[in-house]
Structure 1
Amino acid sequence: MTLYKIDEVATECNLTKRTLRYYEEIGLVSPQRSDGNTRLYTREDIERLKKIISARDVLGFSLQELQRYIEVVEMLRGQRERYRSITDHEERRHQLEQIDQTLGEQLEMMEEKIRTIHSFKAEAEQLREQVRDGLARLNSEVEN
């Protein structure tokens, strides 16, 4: 298994070393340590960091929301792995129900962000409409 030092991970993920250390401190990532106490990251750690960055940038999640989102992602991964190992029909059904519930939680987190974005957009659209009305009034006063 290939292990990567913090400099390599920071470059690949476009993060600072300080950010990587902070993400470790708050539990978003848990790199291994060498005998000399150097942080060593696996390819899985790097992929996890890329998901964190994507959730942060695309979904606009705060660090607290990122922590919960990653918990849900990890829960889903575990549930999917368990599902693959189950052979009993009834147990498989139950596992799929759990996966469905977890996906519902993940989707609700995204929906909450979407509602917030729509609210901000509606405010900006309303303000823009007021500005345009003001411009139209001023333009008509100048013409008269």
Structure 2
Amino acid sequence: MAWLKIEEVARKTGLTKRAIRYYEEIGLFQPSQRSDSGYRLYTDQDVQELKRVVDIKEVLGFSLQEIQQFLELGKRIEAYRREYSQATDPAVKRQDIREMREALEQQLQMVEAKMKKMVAFQQEVRNMLTQLQQIEETMEGKGEKRGFDDT
């Protein structure tokens, strides 16, 4: 397995080394390993996880706290899938699942609200582009008439 240093990870993810360290500090992300001298060592999987954090932040506009909650829910769901056959108290498990479902439904509502806003901005940009094209067409039309008038 090839280990990557923080500089390489920063380059591949577009994050600064400081941001990567901060994500580790707040528990959003952990490097796979540390060298004997304490340097952070990363895998390609770590890079993919950090890229996912960047995507969630940039595309969805989630705060770091919201990203952390989202990622933790994903981990909890995966753990439940693995441990389903070893259920301890079914009532407790049902309550946990209900809470996770409610949290995911809230996140889904937040994403849907952001998507509506994005669609509205998209339409605004399209309208502006249409207006600009109309201006260009008008200018071209006037330019052609002037060309004929000048001869």
What TM-score, normalized to structure 1? Answer: 0.62
- Partner amino acid, structure 1, of 2:66: R
Aligned to 1:71: 69
- Kept in 2, the 8 Å contact 1:6–1:41? The answer is yes
Q: Hey, what's the Cα distance between the residues in 1 that align with 2:72 and 2:23?
A: 16
- Partner amino acid, structure 2, of 1:71: Q
Aligned to 2:149: none
Cα gap change, 1:89 to 1:46, in 2 (>3 Å): same
Q: What RMSD, in angstroms, separates the aligned Cα atoms of the two structures?
A: 3.9
Aligned to 1:121: 122
The reply on whether 1:131 has 2:132 as its aligned counterpart is: yes
Q: Hey, what's the Cα distance between the residues in 1 that align with 2:145 and 2:109?
A: 52
Q: Percent identity?
A: 31
- Runs of at least 5 residues in structure 2 that lack an aligned partner in the other structure: 147-151
What TM-score, normalized to structure 2? Answer: 0.60
**Between Structure 1 and Structure 2, whose CA radius of gyration is higher?**
2
- Partner amino acid, structure 2, of 1:24: E
- Runs of at least 5 residues in structure 1 that lack an aligned partner in the other structure: none
- Kept in 2, the 8 Å contact 1:76–1:99? The answer is no
- Kept in 2, the 8 Å contact 1:79–1:98? The answer is no
> What are the within-5 Å matches in structure 2 for residues 40-79 of structure 1?
40-41=41-42, 45-57=46-58, 59-61=59-61, 65-79=63-77
Name the count of aligned residue pairs.
140
